[in-house]
Amino acid sequence: MSPSVSPSLSASPSPSPGYQGYTRGDYADLPADDTDLETAYTEGDITTVATNDEERVTQSASGQYAIHQYKEYAGAETKCIIEWEGQSSTAPSAATIYLQVYNRSGTPEWETLDSNNTESADTDFSLTGDIADLTNYKDGNTVVSFRVYQFIA
């Protein structure tokens, strides 16, 4: 699965304006929370996904979920629109790709914002989500977590 997102590059080491915590990995089970995944994006990876071009950051998997997780500083923002653009070598028509946000209210859980189960393999497509109120999605540092995943047989 190869994503492209529209972040702003920052060297911030902790959650503050411009902070981004991007990670990826392959897992037999979907993580229940938003703990960082096994492989952190490098600065080069973040630069790659910051531009809408044909460059991608890939994550392989076999009999597992290929997951990309994105943490973004939200600060005082009260709403957001998230857009993910990417493609997969496994057609979404064969294995659905999901965009989710982590809801911290009550019993924390991942909520699906969008999915795609119609595209062909190696074809660009977008997933989008509109969150009208970020109250339940910000952590104590006002960071919001999103993930995109697909099960690769």
Q: Are 144 and 80 in contact (CB under 8 A)?
A: yes
Q: Say which DSSP state 120 is in.
A: P
* Cβ-contact 5, 72 below 8 angstroms: no
Give the distance from CA 93 to its chain's centroid.
20
Report CA torsion sign: 8, 12, 17, 22: positive
Give the confidence band of 7 by pLDDT, cuts at 50, 70, 90: very low
More confidently predicted of 7 and 144: 144
CA dihedral 40, 45, 49, 50 (to 10 degrees): 100
More confident call, 87 vs 14? 87
